[in-house]
Amino acid sequence: MKIDINLKDESRNYTVFINELRELKFDTKVAVITNPKVAGLHLNSLLENLECKEKFIISVPDGEEYKNLGTIEQILEELFTSKLDRSSVIIAFGGGVISDMAGFAASIYQRGIKFINIPTTLLAQVDASVGGKTGVNNKFGKNLIGSFYQPRAVYCESKFLKTLPRREFAAGVAEAIKMAVMFDKDMFEWLEGANLKDEANLQQLIYKSVLLKAKAVEADELEKGARAVLNYGHTFAHVIENETEYKKFLHGEAVAIGMNMANALAVKLGLLSSEEKGRVENLLLKFNLPTRYSVANVDSFYEAFFLDKKSENSVIKFILPKGIGGYEMRKDINKDIVMEILSEFR
Ligand code: NAD
């Protein structure tokens, strides 16, 4: 299966291949950027299928806490030491942390060299590896440094997901549910009945999600408008992640809770019925995702919305479902209504 990504500048178009990776051939040098965990589990199987002039493995420490400029410096140093030139290729081999960093390094090394994404987490396959958002965190926040830089190809292989811990798998499902609620009622209904342990279903999940992500990216590559819909659940999730210091929940888990909170707001505003809200919550629970969070202090939770880099000019932007399969972007919601919803989560 494959999905073409068609951008305004056709020279940046590329294809996402799903379970199509047979062999990769290049007549240039290739650097594979990965981490020790992914390398230990899957690097051999990748290298067996990789033919090129010379290959280099760049292994960076595993974890969101290493997604920073220090690690980018390490990557650049190894690229220079290995004498990669402007015709060389970088392969990102890992989860979203690796694809964000490898893509960013590719975008700045000698003003930009080709990169290919081979995502190994479900979250990266359905979301992070497609769309060209690359970057790192710094002390001011997450993903504040980066670039829009599209890969030349993406290869999603469901075989890599077999070693993924259960919570990491569910965190990826959360991002897929997010896209279904926003854009695709049929996919939502399919997910309600789907067993994702079935290989064919898992492949379908990746295909359907990438298709939706592709449409959002094609409509708005630089996230000036419509692509922001993918941030459904994230306004709440970012506050939850901050309050719990990124320790208690995986990102996808925080997004699951955030969706449930956004849905409560949508019900209050008459955009979603209580029954629909219940269906979304049941779907999240079906995949062992959390949907509840105890808001300790509603005032500080509300104030924290304004720290989000996506709240422009002190206006909070809520992405809300309009029924299942539709959305509304709202910047006009009265503080009292939001506080009422937060109180329900105390
Ligand atoms: P991650 O990259 O940290 O991977 C999660 C864990 O799984 C890591 O410990 C990793 O080493 C391990 N792992 C990876 N593949 C594995 C496998 N096959 N088997 C066993 N373990 C494996 O996290 P993630 O959830 O993949 O990605 C989260 C990151 O993605 C965040 O930094 C987020 O900002 C970013 N992101 C980016 C975009 C985008 O559009 N660029 C979108 C969503 C998320």
Candidates 35, 117, 231, 260; catalytic one: 231
Query: Does ligand 1 come within 6 angstroms of the Cβ of 135?
Result: no
pLDDT confidence of residue 310: 63
Residue 306's identity, in one-letter code, is F
Mean pLDDT of all residues in 298-311: 84
Candidates 111, 166, 197, 247; catalytic one: 111
Kindly state the tokens that stand for 123.
Answer: 């979250």
Position 312 pLDDT exceeds 70: no
pTM for the whole structure: 0.95
pLDDT confidence of residue 345: 92
Residue nearest to ligand 1 atom 39, measured at CA:
128
Query: Does ligand 1 come within 6 angstroms of the Cβ of 160?
Result: yes
CA 72 to ligand 1 centroid distance, Å: 17
| Tens-digit pLDDT profile for residues 42-64 | 999 999 999 999 999 999 999 99
Q: Is 42 a catalytic residue?
A: no
Quick check: 234 and 181 in contact, CB under 8 A?
Answer: no
pLDDT band for position 323 (cuts 50, 70, 90): very high
Q: Decide the pairing of beta strands 29-34 and 54-59.
A: parallel
CA 189 and chain centroid, separation: 22
Position 223 pLDDT exceeds 80: yes
| Tens-digit pLDDT profile for residues 79-136 | 999 999 999 999 999 999 999 999 999 999 999 999 999 999 999 999 999 999 999 9
Query: Does ligand 1 come within 6 angstroms of the Cβ of 258?
Result: no
Mean pLDDT of all residues in 142-166: 96
How far is the CA of 210 from the CAs of 115, 204, 207, 216, 291, in angstroms? 19, 10, 5, 10, 24
DSSP string, 260-285: HHHHHHHHHTTSS-HHHHHHHHHHHH
> Which run of H or E residues covers position 288?
none
9-18, 191-200, 303-312: least confident range:
303-312
Percent of the chain exceeding pLDDT 90 equals: 90
pLDDT confidence of residue 346: 84
